[in-house]
Structure 1
Amino acid sequence: MAFITVETLINAPVNAVWEKWTSPEHVQQWNFAAPDWHCPKATIDLQVGGEYHYEMAAKDGSVSFDFWGTYLEINPEESLHIFIGDGRNMQVTFETTEAGTKVTEHFEPENENPEDLQQEGWQMILNNFKSYAENPTS
């Protein structure tokens, strides 16, 4: 099965990027693809075998779901290997470059939506993360 890849370059050091990626209070501030959605609740048990749960919800209350996964491998400030709750694999890498921290997500597509739509949605969330991680007050 082919993986979908999204990535961004963040003008911030890897330790700050990692903190904002792995702390529930930060995840709630960036983990949504559109302004009419939000992440009202997030929990993270950052250890091998631990789970994360992100409540993804429309702000009007019309729909919500639990996006969750289990950590299979954790290399602090370098990578995460995750088994998403719906049975897909995902890898997130954090790479220090001269221009900042490159964050790359590789994930197996799901079967409900076209791959280009999935890539677009995940890229929008990653773009939100970039904006949040580059904000010195966040």
Structure 2
Amino acid sequence: MSDFSYRLTRTLDAPVAAVWQAWTDDKQYEQWSYSVPGSVHQDVRPGGAWSAAVQGPEGPAIEINGTYLEVEPERLLVMDMPTPTGTTVMKLELTDKGASTEAVLSQECASAEERDMAEQGSTMLLDSLAAFLAKS
């Protein structure tokens, strides 16, 4: 990992199949990911596209999109997305722990500012995913 990368690890209180479904099913993903309803489109396969309009606590919705680079069901998602400085790659790794799942979300960024913003957004995303899974 570079100086401008982050790696977040969470133990989610749900089996790996439920975590995978929450992340890859459009309707479930939009329930916890701060996405505008109806804006999530995922073609979860290598080379498949994904997109969503994300509505943060402040400001207008922001369109995000990219391509799935690697997909290993219930284990790995690697996706790219454009940034102001080029393209970045985000990786979600899932480890089956029986009744729980270890999720590791990491990303390489082009600058400290980009890393800090991405890490903050990813922290919010993982926290929201954990809360969604706890209610399911």
Q: So what's the TM-score if we normalise by structure 1?
A: 0.82
Aligned residue identity for 1:25: K
Say yes or no: does 1:107 pair with 2:104: no
CA distance in 2, matches of 1:46, 1:131: 23
Cα deviation for residue 51 of structure 1 reads 1.0
Contact 1:89-1:107 within 8 A present in 2 as well: yes
For 1:33-48, list aligned pairs within 5 A: 38-40=35-37, 41-48=39-46
Aligned-pair identity in percent equals 23
For 1:1-138, list aligned pairs within 5 A: 1-2=2-3, 3-32=5-34, 38-40=35-37, 41-58=39-56, 62-86=59-83, 87-97=87-97, 100-111=100-111, 113=113, 115-136=115-136
Contact 1:95-1:103 within 8 A present in 2 as well: yes
Contact 1:9-1:99 within 8 A present in 2 as well: no
Aligned residue identity for 2:128: N
Residue 40 of structure 2: SS of its match in structure 1?
Answer: strand
Aligned residue identity for 2:101: T
Q: 1:112 to 1:67 in 2, by over 3 A?
A: farther
Query: Structure 1: where are the runs of 5+ without partners?
Result: 33-37
Runs of 4+ displaced beyond 4 Å: none
Q: 1:110 to 1:30 in 2, by over 3 A?
A: farther
Query: Structure 2: where are the runs of 5+ without partners?
Result: none
- 1:35 counterpart residue number: none
Aligned residue identity for 1:104: V
Q: 1:106 to 1:59 in 2, by over 3 A?
A: closer
Q: 1:125 to 1:58 in 2, by over 3 A?
A: closer
Cα deviation for residue 17 of structure 1 reads 0.8
Contact 1:70-1:85 within 8 A present in 2 as well: no
Q: 1:112 to 1:43 in 2, by over 3 A?
A: farther
**Paired residue total:** 130
